Amino acid sequence: MWFDMRRKTILLILSFPFFFYCGCSINPITGEKQLMLIPPEQDLAIGKKYAPEVEKQLGGRIDNERLQAYIDSVGQKIARLSHRPDWDYHFTAVNDKSLNALALPGGYIFITKGMLKKLTTEAQLAGILAHETTHVVARHSAASMSKEIGLNILLSAVTSETTSRGVLVAADVARQIMALQYSKKDEREADLGGMSYMFRAGYNPYGMVETMQILKDEAKHEPIEFFSTHPAPENRMAYLNQRIQSDYPDFAALKTGEDDYRIEVLEQLGD
């Protein structure tokens, strides 16, 4: 029995060498060192493994290719100007009615129908997608997953398990991914880094502040899923407004995209 266990352990080490990876990487948003338990190349494998299950649990992909192409085009504008433009990003609108958006490692980003219906401009959409893109770039998602879910569970990300148990594990991990919480520091980085990205992509950075106001107003009427994994917007609006005044004084000339958003999203979604 001891021999069998030892043999299995050796095989596990050979099959999953990144289990013992532990090193410092540079956060491209801040330039600071950060401890990471997963090497960068595994972000892609983890995202690819769990994205289909997360998409399923969020009600599936909205069946409208025109809308999907528009969402992806806005996201890709931002991703191309990020610190990791070589990654393969996927921006997907899903049927979930809650107000939410989330990112998986490796560039898999989802935004819900509920959130899309509350937005009114392309700049607001860009602000949300830029925020989530920054989580991917700074590897906040990978760091939170390794801490909150555990490396032993995440090992299944690079297996090809198709058994019923494997499906159950993937479903459970997907639920945990959807409930991941970031630190206030991570959220501030995603806000300010995302604002920089959307500005560079030609969008009015005030769109990000407007999304915070929308969420704040909606929270007065009913609980918002977004707040279960993101901090309340009040203090975030303050430092975002401050950054706009100091770094983006000519923001009014940049794209808001109200008409584009109405035609490509709101009219496509209907009532």
Q: How many residues does the chain have?
A: 271
- Strands of the sheet containing 101-104, edge to edge, are 90-94, 108-112, 101-104
Domain-located, residue 135: yes
- Domain total of the chain: 1
Q: Determine the residue type at 165.
A: R
DSSP letter (8 states) at residue 25: E
Domain-located, residue 117: yes
Alpha helices in the chain (DSSP H): 2-15, 41-57, 65-80, 113-118, 122-137, 140-148, 151-154, 164-178, 184-200, 206-219, 226-229, 234-247, 258-261, 267-269
Q: What is the pLDDT, as a whole number, of residue 131?
A: 96
Positive or negative torsion for Cα 32, 35, 36, 41: positive
Q: Please write the tens of the pLDDT for every residue from 115-165.
A: 999 999 999 999 999 999 999 998 877 677 666 655 555 555 445 455 555
Q: What is the pLDDT, as a whole number, of residue 64?
A: 97
Number of other CB atoms surrounding residue 203 within 10 Å: 29
Domain-located, residue 5: no
Q: Which long-range contacts does 109-114 make (Cβ < 8 Å, 24+ apart)? A: 109/75, 109/133, 109/136, 110/54, 110/55, 110/58, 111/71, 112/58, 112/59, 113/59, 113/62, 113/269
* 207 token code pair: 């769109």
Domain-located, residue 175: yes
Query: Are the CB atoms for 251 and 204 separated by under 8 Å?
Result: yes
* 264 token code pair: 């490509």
Q: What is the pLDDT, as a whole number, of residue 149?
A: 57
Q: Please write the tens of the pLDDT for every residue from 71-86.
A: 999 999 999 999 999 9
- Which residues of the chain fall below pLDDT 70? 1-38, 142, 145-169, 221-233
Domain-located, residue 18: no
* 113 token code pair: 């129908």
Query: Are the CB atoms for 50 and 174 separated by under 8 Å?
Result: yes
Domain-located, residue 262: yes
Q: What is the pLDDT, as a whole number, of residue 250?
A: 86
Domain-located, residue 3: no
Structural domain boundaries, residue 87: 27-269
Q: What is the pLDDT, as a whole number, of residue 199?
A: 96
Domain-located, residue 74: yes
